[in-house]
């Protein structure tokens, strides 16, 4: 598990080893900096650095010290990272984690540290906040089902897809994404005859590629990082060309920025996401320009991970400012501020929380397109506003459907 302490300058996003003093405010950050999701995690760190720099690097005259610990997408690694930040580094605020099952683990861990506030990075498993939420776990940005709002209806009604197969990683976040897609797609009349679940870090997708039914109209792919690159490359090299519908982290700059042979296959592919690479709102234009200036060797546009880690850190900065940097009450006043916080997010919409401290989001149905310079980006087709965690359904009815899993929902 990698560990470093960094200071973010008010003038630039410089990184230096600086020991925290009694006058500093320590914020722990958990992200994935190794394995299949390393590129995702690195962009998350960029988002945190940008938010702290935007706040001037200080709150109430106190310097902000970021202590970054890498996890590896497993719940155990996220718990170990959090314990280290709390017990060794004295962090009273943690921003993270990145991956779905990590978030569930930190939600549970947070109950053992009631004076520590955990602000989610990009972890998108539904039940982290929907069922049995924790009073000191906050998620600005919503879950993976919310990020698919509009896509199932668009795929069925506009694209004309009636039968779709699923290829997804076998853990809580892809389950949540599949639920978000299938909730609309199945209600519209579509069917999902086959789901293929693969482990994180899988290298050989040949058995999946040749098992996908040839009579499906499209494949819904919910893979991230190098997993997405590997599957799409092997599918294209096998000579198949069934249209792709993308999960939020499949059709993302972390994948679209790769120089791979499948690029042409993705042009025109729809997906759902709260982050659009090529979006002309003044806020997103400014955020993208600041990202490009700070990270000339970064991605072609801020990814969903930079966006969501930025919002988590931005919320922390706003909350700390409101309490004058004082966490001496165990963070109680700070958490009260977070619960009622409302701010403009990088895409321009308002971010606010529901009663379970989960974000209510504006979601985009997007499509992949080729820019003039030959790179791939995404542009919005539709905006679905004010998406809550029960996808507009009555909460009791939605919860009665049971926890999301490999087999729930189903519409074969």
Residue 103 phi, psi (nearest 5): -65, -40
pLDDT in tens, 320-373: 999 999 999 999 999 999 999 999 999 999 999 999 999 999 999 999 999 999
pLDDT in tens, 113-137: 999 999 999 999 999 999 999 999 9
The stretch 129-150 carries a mean pLDDT of 97
E-assigned strand segments in 282-375:
343-344, 350-353, 359-370
Confidence of residue 23 (pLDDT cuts 50, 70, 90): confident
Neighbours of 233 (CB within 10 A): 17
pLDDT at 75: 97
Cα dihedral across residues 315, 141, 40, 30: positive or negative = positive
Q: How far apart are the first and last CA of the chain?
A: 42
- The candidate with the shortest Cα–Cα distance to 126, out of 113, 107, 109, is 107
At a CB cut-off of 8 Å and minimum separation 6, what does 192 contact?
163, 164, 165, 166, 182, 185, 186, 220, 410, 411, 412
The stretch 97-113 carries a mean pLDDT of 98
pLDDT in tens, 61-88: 999 999 999 999 999 999 999 999 999 9
- CA atoms within 13 Å, Cβ hemisphere of 252: 30
pLDDT in tens, 151-163: 999 999 999 999 9
pLDDT in tens, 166-201: 999 999 999 999 999 999 999 999 999 999 999 999
Name the H helices within 96-145: 100-110, 127-130
> Mean pLDDT across the chain, nearest whole number?
94
pLDDT at 315: 98
Confidence of residue 11 (pLDDT cuts 50, 70, 90): very low
Confidence of residue 259 (pLDDT cuts 50, 70, 90): confident
């Amino acid at each position: 598990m990698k560990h470093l302490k960094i200071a973010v300058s008010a003038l630039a996003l410089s990184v230096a080893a600086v020991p925290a003093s009694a006058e500093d405010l320590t914020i722990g950050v958990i992200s994935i900096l190794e394995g299949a999701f390393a590129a995702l995690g690195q962009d998350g760190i960029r988002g945190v650095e940008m938010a702290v720099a935007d706040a001037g690097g200080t709150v109430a005259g106190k310097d902000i010290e970021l202590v970054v610990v890498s996890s590896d997408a497993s719940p155990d690694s996220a718990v170990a990272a959090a314990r280290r930040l709390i017990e060794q580094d004295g962090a009273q605020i943690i921003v993270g984690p990145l991956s779905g099952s990590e978030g569930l683990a930190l939600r549970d861990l947070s109950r053992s540290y009631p004076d520590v506030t955990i602000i989610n990075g990009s972890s998108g498993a539904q039940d982290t906040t929907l069922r049995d939420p924790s009073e000191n776990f906050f998620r600005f940005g919503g879950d993976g089902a919310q990020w698919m709002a509009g896509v199932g209806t668009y795929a069925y009604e506009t694209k004309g897809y009636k039968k779709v197969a699923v290829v997804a990683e076998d853990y809580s976040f892809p389950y949540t994404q599949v639920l978000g897609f299938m909730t609309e797609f199945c209600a519209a009349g579509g069917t999902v005859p086959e789901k293929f679940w693969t482990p994180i870090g899988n290298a050989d997708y040949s058995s999946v590629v040749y098992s996908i039914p040839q009579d499906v109209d499209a494949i819904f792919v919910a893979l991230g990082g190098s997993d997405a690159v590997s599957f799409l490359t092997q599918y294209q090299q096998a000579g198949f060309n069934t249209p792709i519908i993308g999960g939020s982290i499949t059709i993302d700059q972390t994948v679209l920025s790769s120089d791979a042979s499948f690029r042409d296959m993705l042009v025109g592919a729809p997906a759902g996401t709260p982050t659009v690479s090529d979006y002309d709102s003044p806020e997103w234009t400014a955020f993208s320009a600041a990202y490009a200036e700070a990270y000339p060797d970064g991605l072609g546009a801020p990814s969903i991970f930079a966006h969501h880690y930025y919002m988590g850190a931005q919320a922390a900065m706003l909350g700390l400012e409101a309490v004058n940097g004082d966490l001496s009450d165990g963070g109680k006043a700070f958490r009260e501020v977070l619960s009622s916080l409302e701010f403009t997010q990088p895409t321009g919409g308002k971010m606010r929380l529901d009663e379970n401290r989960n974000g209510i989001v504006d979601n985009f149905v997007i499509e992949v397109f080729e820019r003039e310079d030959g790179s791939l980006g995404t542009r919005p087709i539709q905006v679905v506003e004010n998406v809550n965690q029960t996808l507009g359904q009555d909460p009791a009815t939605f919860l009665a459907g049971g926890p999301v899993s490999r087999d729930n929902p189903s519409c074969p």
